[in-house]
């Protein structure tokens, strides 16, 4: 339970997949330049923030923990077992600190996270929580920071955070934080195969560097045809073009992923690819009913922990409860709900 004063602001944030992930060379700052096409899927974490009026919040917050400012998991989840840190390293807390620094406020808030996005699964779950925290706090604190301001803070917190705010389908460059929306009026249907373990994002990038130093690793093609396939809405065209330079590294670290990728296609998907830094694999299907059939068959194939059926694109982070400008969830429509500058 959130144990603090005042109504919480709740934000829903989607997972992402990379339809195309081209990785350049290692930069001096330890990051790699990317050219990527992100798509937001309807797997959502929920993030609630509430003012934590406790002893700690009267001075600078030097300690986060039970009851006071800090982070907790909502729902029936064991954070340790799930691999989600509840200390100052949690990406949601880091986002709260970064936004506080930007606007000159202490992050004297309690953050509750309801997780549905797999942890360390290459679907940017931690980044989603960071993005959700930024939007929720901007709403709770009634900040006049604007969308661009929030995106700048997001980019400082992590490479994938800006996209979780943005949502839809977008072309990402730089570390992945420079975003341009991609025209996509059509819905794509996916099966998501989750594993019972994660892969560390820096370790997967490091493995790719190692593989490239040792031999010529084939690189994925240009991004333009991917953008055209997304715009056309033709799943069959897009299936031929799904590509991820990190896949070789993820498979090298977790060879069982080869079986998972083969099994999805054998079950009737058009194509499969490792999502981001893995180990989650995503499979593109011709339509929703096919995705349900593929998911059922894949679930019985013993090649993953569990499966989800999903679709995209969906919008980015969105306030679903507690916005003073909007009616409560399930409540009557307001006569004038007013604009939500961040949605
Ligand atoms: C693999 C992707 O999910 C694809 O969208 C992202 O590139 C990863 O984004 P993220 O998890 O938000 O990553 P960050 O928290 O920014 O960085 C974690 C680590 O991943 C590596 N990293 C990340 C992004 C990038 N463009 N190049 C990198 O080499 C770096 O070692 C970095 O220290
Ligand atoms: N709110 C959070 N939720 C999940 N993990 C978090 C969170 N905050 C910090 N972490 C840490 O970050 C690590 C990576 O988590 P995350 O779920 O974002 O991985 P990912 O989906 O592979 O990320 P990406 O796709 O952005 O590379 C976890 O192993 C965990 O230790």
Residues 230-284: pLDDT tens digits? 999 999 999 999 999 999 999 999 999 999 999 999 999 999 999 999 999 999 9
User: At CA 251, angle to CA 245 and CA 254, rounded to 5?
Assistant: 145
3-state secondary structure of 189: strand
| Length of the chain, in residues | 343
Pocket flag, ligand 1, residue 205 (CB < 6 Å): yes
Is 318 catalytic? The answer is no
Question: Using CA of residue 265, residue 270, residue 273, residue 275, what is the dihedral sign?
Answer: negative
Q: Which of 45, 108, 160, 321 is catalytic?
A: 160
Residue 202, Cβ neighbours under 10 Å: how many? 10
Task: Determine the longest span between alpha carbons in the chain, in angstroms.
Answer: 64
Q: How far apart are CA 7 and CA 144, in angstroms?
A: 20
Decide if 77 contacts 56 (C-beta within 8 A): no
How far apart, in Å, are the Cα atoms of 97 and each of 70, 243, 267? 11, 35, 45
Atom of ligand 2 nearest to the CA of 89: 9
Nearest CA to ligand 1 atom 31: 202
Give 330 Cα–ligand 2 centroid separation in angstroms: 31
Please give the structure tokens belonging to residue 261.
């990728």
Residues 177-228: pLDDT tens digits? 999 999 888 999 999 999 988 999 999 999 999 999 999 999 999 999 999 9
Question: Using CA of residue 72, residue 78, residue 79, residue 82, what is the dihedral sign?
Answer: negative
- Ligand 1: residue of 31, 85, 204, 212 to mutate (most ligand atoms within 8 A of CB) is 31
Pocket flag, ligand 1, residue 20 (CB < 6 Å): no
- pLDDT grade, residue 120 (50/70/90)? confident
Domains in the chain, CATH or no CATH each: 9-182 (3.30.230.10), 188-312 (3.30.70.890)
Q: How far apart are CA 247 and CA 8, in angstroms?
A: 40
What crossing angle do the helices spanning 146-157 and 125-140 adopt, rounded to 10°?
140
Ramachandran region of residue 146, left (φ > 0), alpha (ψ -120 to 50) or beta? left
Q: What is the pLDDT of residue 41?
A: 98
Please give the structure tokens belonging to residue 64.
């986060």
Binding site membership for ATP: which residues?
Answer: 118-128
- pLDDT grade, residue 335 (50/70/90)? very low
Pocket flag, ligand 1, residue 30 (CB < 6 Å): yes
- pLDDT grade, residue 81 (50/70/90)? confident
Is 218 catalytic? The answer is no
pTM of the model: 0.91
Ligand 2 environment, Cβ below 6 A: 83-85, 89-92, 113, 119-127, 129, 160, 198, 201, 276-277
Atom of ligand 1 nearest to the CA of 16: 5
Q: What is the pLDDT of residue 341?
A: 39
CA 263 distance to own-chain centroid:
25
User: Nearest to residue 13, comparing CAs of 82, 92, 109?
Assistant: 92
List, in order, residues 6 or more apart from 214 with CB less than 8 Å away.
none
Give 233 Cα–ligand 2 centroid separation in angstroms: 31
Q: Which secondary structure element, helix H or strand E, spans residue 31, and what is its range? A: none
How far apart, in Å, are the Cα atoms of 100 and each of 105, 109, 133, 136, 239? 5, 10, 11, 13, 42
- pLDDT grade, residue 340 (50/70/90)? very low
User: Nearest to residue 110, comparing CAs of 185, 183, 7, 17?
Assistant: 7
- pLDDT grade, residue 330 (50/70/90)? low
CA 77 distance to own-chain centroid:
19
Nearest CA to ligand 2 atom 11: 84
Q: What is the pLDDT of residue 76?
A: 82
Residues 197-210: pLDDT tens digits? 899 999 999 999 99
């Amino acid at each position: 339970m959130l144990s603090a004063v005042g109504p919480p602001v709740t934000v829903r944030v989607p997972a992402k997949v990379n339809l195309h992930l081209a990785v350049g060379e290692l930069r001096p700052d330890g990051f790699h330049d990317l050219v990527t096409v992100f798509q937001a899927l309807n797997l959502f974490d929920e993030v609630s923030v509430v003012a934590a009026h406790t002893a700690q919040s009267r001075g600078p917050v030097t300690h986060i923990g039970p009851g006071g400012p800090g982070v907790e998991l909502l729902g029936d989840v064991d954070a340790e077992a799930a691999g989600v840190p509840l200390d100052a390293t949690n990406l949601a807390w880091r986002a709260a600190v970064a936004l506080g620094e930007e606007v000159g406020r202490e992050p004297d808030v309690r953050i509750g996270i309801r997780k549905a996005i797999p942890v360390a699964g290459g679907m940017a779950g931690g980044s989603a929580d960071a993005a959700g925290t930024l939007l929720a706090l901007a709403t709770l604190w009634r900040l006049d920071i604007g969308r661009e301001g929030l995106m700048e803070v997001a980019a400082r917190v992590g490479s994938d955070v800006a996209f979780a705010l943005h949502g839809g389908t977008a072309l990402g460059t730089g570390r992945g934080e420079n975003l341009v929306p991609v025209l996509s009026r059509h819905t794509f249907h996916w099966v998501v195969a989750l594993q019972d373990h994660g892969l560390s994002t820096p370790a997967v990038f490091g493995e790719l560097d190692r593989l490239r130093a040792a031999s010529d690793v084939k690189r994925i093609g240009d991004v333009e045809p991917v953008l055209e396939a997304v715009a056309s809405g033709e799943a069959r065209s897009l299936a031929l073009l799904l590509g991820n330079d990190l896949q070789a590294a993820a498979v090298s670290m977790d060879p069982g992923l080869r079986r998972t990728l083969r099994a999805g296609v054998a079950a009737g998907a058009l194509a499969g690819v490792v999502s981001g830094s893995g180990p989650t694999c995503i499979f593109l299907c011709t339509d929703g009913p096919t995705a349900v059939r593929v998911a059922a068959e894949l679930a019985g194939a013993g090649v993953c922990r569990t499966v989800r059926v999903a679709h995209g694109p969906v919008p980015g982070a969105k306030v679903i409860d507690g916005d003073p400008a909007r009616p409560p969830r399930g409540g009557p429509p307001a006569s004038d709900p007013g604009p939500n500058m961040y949605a």
